[in-house]
């Protein structure tokens, strides 16, 4: 397996300290804090480790404090309820004795029922698009050093944007974009694993959609961005080592916060998951 992908699986495999207590390590992706997707994935892995015979169908999470990449994160799971068809878990992530994150997650036994979905947007196939890293290489020369580290960091996912960001000359655009993505190598089977990995990757670039109407990118100084909350709903089975289309939009930005939504479609058009996120988008005014 690809080295980066194997390392991600290691990061998402937590040490079980006690029956409801888990510990995870972090990876530095060049940002000043732990990547939010890592904490989402690890918290979901912790919750999943306390449930049998049911798959996660939704979670709602809040980012409370910045995580430190140099310290382990402890995940405490509260087994809130196990009903006939649903199980609910609450997860708290702790560093230095303080909560940095919390999540509520719901799991369901497999059931049949009514079925409908929105259609996937019509976009070029991933084979017709350039990889994100090729767009990054075009921008890397004028990016400041701290941001260059984030942009150039190798990822265990291949991404092919339908509307690539123009980092050098951003324009005011409608807040809608799509990107194809998949893991860089074949993964083991297991719905729980693929949903955990989808939670991890869902945090990539979602909030950036809220910047598009303002001719601003994450590299535009002086801008501070940080995730506040993140919610996700899993609708159908998924494999993250097959191409998935992440279609996002941003209905609103106000009060130094941006709001974005996402729909994840499989290559065959099935809607496999939906996301929503609000985040800090604070423009620092010159004194």
The residue from 33, 38, 106, 277 that is catalytic is 277
Exactly one of 227, 247, 250, 263 is catalytic; name it.
227
162, 129 contact by CB (below 8 A)? yes
Catalytic residue check, 277: yes
Active site residue 42: no
31 carries an active-site annotation: no
Distance CA 3, CA 9 (A): 10
Active-site option among 38, 203, 250, 274:
203
Q: Is the CB of residue 46 less than 8 Å from the CB of residue 91?
A: yes
Q: Which two tokens stand for residue 236?
A: 């159908």
In sequence order, what DSSP letters do the residues of 195-232 get, joined into one string? HHHHHHHTTSSSGGGGGGGGT--TTSSSEEEEEEEEEE
Catalytically active residues are 203, 227, 277
């Amino acid at each position: 397996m690809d080295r980066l992908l194997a390392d991600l699986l290691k990061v998402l495999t937590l040490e079980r300290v006690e029956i409801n207590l888990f510990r995870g390590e972090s990876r530095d992706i060049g940002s000043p804090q732990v990547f939010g997707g890592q904490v989402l994935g690890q918290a979901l892995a912790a919750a999943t480790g306390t449930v049998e015979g049911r798959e996660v169908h939704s979670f709602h999470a809040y980012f409370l404090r910045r995580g430190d990449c140099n310290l382990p994160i402890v995940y405490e799971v509260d087994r809130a309820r196990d009903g006939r068809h649903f199980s609910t878990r609450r997860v708290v992530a702790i560093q230095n004795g303080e909560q940095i994150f919390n999540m509520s997650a719901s799991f369901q036994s497999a059931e049949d029922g009514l079925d409908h979905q929105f259609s996937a947007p019509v976009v070029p196939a991933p084979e017709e698009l350039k990889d994100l890293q090729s767009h990054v290489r075009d921008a890397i020369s004028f990016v400041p050093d701290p941001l260059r580290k984030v942009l150039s960091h190798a990822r265990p996912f291949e991404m092919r944007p339908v509307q690539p960001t123009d980092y050098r000359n951003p324009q005011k655009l409608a807040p809608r974009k799509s990107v194809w993505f998949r893991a860089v190598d074949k993964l083991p089977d297991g719905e729980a694993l693929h949903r955990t990995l989808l939670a991890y990757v869902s945090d990539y670039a979602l909030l950036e959609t809220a910047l598009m109407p303002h001719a601003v990118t994450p590299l535009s100084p002086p801008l501070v961005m940080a995730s506040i909350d993140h919610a996700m709903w899993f609708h159908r089975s998924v494999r993250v080592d097959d191409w998935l289309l992440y279609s996002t939009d941003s209905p609103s930005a106000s009060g130094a916060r941006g709001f974005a939504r996402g729909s994840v479609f499989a290559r065959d058009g099935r809607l496999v998951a939906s996301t929503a996120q609000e985040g800090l988008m604070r423009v620092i005014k010159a004194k």
